[in-house]
Amino acid sequence: MSIVKYSLLFFMTLFLPVQRGFILQAQSSLLIRGAITDRETKERLPYASLRLKNYSIGTISNEAGEFNFYMPQSTIDDTLVVAYVGYKSIEIPVGTIRNDMALKLQPVAIAIDELYVYPLSPQEYIKRAVARLDENYAGSSFMTIACFNEEVKENGLYISACEAIFKSYYPEYTDSVKNQHQLVLYREPEETHEFAFMKEWREKRKRKEARKAEKKRENSDPDNSEEDVFVSFGGPEMLLDFNIRNNRDAFLDSTNFKRFTYMFGESRFYQGKKLMAIHFEAKRAIDNFKEAGVILLDPDNYAIVSIESTGMAIVPVAVRPILLALGLGVKNPVFNRTMKYEQYNGSYYPKDFHWDISVYITKRHVFKKDEHSHIEAGQLFFVNKISSEKGKPIPAECVFDPEKKMKEQICSEENITWNEMNILKK
């Protein structure tokens, strides 16, 4: 089940009554901080990539284009590479960096005669990309240190949030062993707000259920309340185990090509490479989703470097009468997602995946003011360090279980603390 589909199911339950990096010691690390902007428009560039040229440590900027980047003192002779899709990458010797940095990236202009000169159709290039997945993406075992963040807001207030650091082992692609993850660090904000939408109705329902349980001489479980439905997105497993080889997006499946419109767009530059841009758009809703976006391919090897998409989740026709009977109005949820890979040692590895979804809902009342709720939710997962040397499986007692609560599965390591982690800057 895709992230977006999972999210729609989450929202349907609302309507029915039934700092993210690798660990460095303070005395032996360097801190680089600053902001990344468009040189021409001065606009901040969110989720820009920062990494060392010869050492597989990196981070990304936050939504405001700001970043903190810790790196070992031993990398003083290395080079900082800053990249953003559609912009010319810049390289800065680490040893020359002194103060807060105002990094300005230059958009890359494409000459008119460079546009749309591909000999094959967009669909044919997608077929080639899918056919070469095993060749382009890491097949040998590797390990990563990565950051995960989940947020759920109602009317701008946090009702749920968490951030975590995962150490992961990815076995050889042909190995029958599944990916293994270890939750090294986990924390939640000190204060969150109670979910307000239809609170009175939900409390009445809980009291009614409690009375029923009392009559049956059963104990109602206060921790198993309906509040859980409103704040849980199932944890990080959908992003932790995302594997492009097993991608089930309809627009990459040749049997679904007739259901989409494809066209070439302007080439985009990323990390010094000119990438082929293939735009896609669903002709009509597919499984209650209408999606459009762009696939960026490396024309040298047909590797999928990035997929960016946006779309709308359509409330199923069968659900609409129920919502109407409950006096609920729902504006179709809008979602965005990005999946990005970076090349190391000739193979592509996961870099960052993030998605968000937004929905407006209304509860209509006859004798009192209507209730309105704007729910925003999303998840972000980005890799800070990759070790392409032969990986080591996670100890059995530390393997993360998505069926259990995250905060009960922390399996810490002495050399990994929140201090000087390359987390997303707050």
DSSP state letters, 37-63: EETTT--B-TT-EEEESSS-BEEE--T
pLDDT at 325: 85
Residue ranges making up the domain that contains 232: 110-408
Mean pLDDT taken over the chain: 85
Q: Is 3 a domain residue?
A: no
Give all strands of the β-sheet with 101-105 in edge-to-edge order.
66-72, 29-38, 101-105
- DSSP assigned state of 68: E
pLDDT, greater one: 261 or 20:
261
Task: State the average pLDDT over residues 325-338.
Answer: 90
Indicate the pLDDT class of residue 229, thresholds 50, 70 and 90.
very low
b or e along 205-233 (b: 16 or more beta carbons within 10 Å of the residue's beta carbon)? eeeeeeeeeeeeeeeeeeeeeebeebbeb
Q: How many CA atoms lie within 13 A of 160 on its CB side?
A: 18
Q: How many CA atoms lie within 13 A of 380 on its CB side?
A: 19
Lowest mean pLDDT among 49-53, 373-377, 421-425: 421-425
Q: Classify residue 332 as exposed, middle or buried by CB count within 10 Å of its CB (0-12, 13-18, 19+).
A: middle
| Separation CA 196–CA 306 (nearest Å) | 37
User: For tokens 């990759």, what's the residue?
Assistant: 386
Indicate the pLDDT class of residue 28, thresholds 50, 70 and 90.
low
Provide the strand spans (E) within 155-267: 157-170, 180-187, 260-264
| Sequence-separated (6 or more) residues with CB below 8 Å from residue 344 | 56, 386, 388
Q: Is 43 a domain residue?
A: no
One-letter amino acid at 338 equals T
pLDDT at 322: 87
Indicate the pLDDT class of residue 22, thresholds 50, 70 and 90.
very low
pLDDT at 234: 56
Evaluated on CA atoms 393, 395, 400, 406, the torsion sign reads negative
Task: State the average pLDDT over residues 31-48.
Answer: 94
Residue 271 reports pLDDT greater than 60: yes
pLDDT at 375: 93
pLDDT at 21: 30
Indicate the pLDDT class of residue 147, thresholds 50, 70 and 90.
very high
pLDDT, greater one: 99 or 410:
410
Q: Is 29 a domain residue?
A: no
pLDDT at 317: 85
Which H/E stretch holds residue 383?
Answer: strand 371-387
Q: Classify residue 399 as exposed, middle or buried by CB count within 10 Å of its CB (0-12, 13-18, 19+).
A: middle
| Separation CA 331–CA 361 (nearest Å) | 6
Domain count, the chain: 1
SS3 category, 260: strand
Task: State the average pLDDT over residues 323-329.
Answer: 88
Q: Is 213 a domain residue?
A: yes
Residue 56 reports pLDDT greater than 70: yes
Task: State the average pLDDT over residues 362-378.
Answer: 92
- Per-residue pLDDT tens digits for 343-359: 888 889 989 999 999 99
Q: How many CA atoms lie within 13 A of 336 on its CB side?
A: 6
Cβ proximity of 79 and 93 under 8 Å: yes
Task: State the average pLDDT over residues 161-178.
Answer: 88
pLDDT at 344: 85
User: For tokens 């080639």, what's the residue?
Assistant: 128
Highest mean pLDDT of the ranges 8-12, 164-168, 229-233 = 164-168
pLDDT at 316: 86
Q: Is 60 a domain residue?
A: no
Q: Is 2 a domain residue?
A: no
In angstroms, the Cα distances linking 275 to 91, 156, 322, 392 are 20, 37, 47, 34
| Separation CA 191–CA 406 (nearest Å) | 18
Residue 218 reports pLDDT greater than 80: no
Q: Is 129 a domain residue?
A: yes
Task: State the average pLDDT over residues 75-93.
Answer: 93
Q: Comparing C-alpha atoms, which of 320, 329, 326 is closest to residue 202?
A: 326
SS3 category, 304: strand
Radius of gyration (Cα) for the chain, nearest Å?
A: 23
pLDDT at 312: 93
pLDDT at 287: 86
SS3 category, 259: helix
- Per-residue pLDDT tens digits for 103-127: 999 998 765 445 556 889 999 999 9
pLDDT at 116: 58
Residue 362 reports pLDDT greater than 90: yes
If you count DSSP H runs as helices and E runs as strands, how many of each does the chain have, helices first?
A: 7, 18
Q: How many CA atoms lie within 13 A of 31 on its CB side?
A: 15
Q: Is 350 a domain residue?
A: yes
Question: What is this structure's pTM?
Answer: 0.84
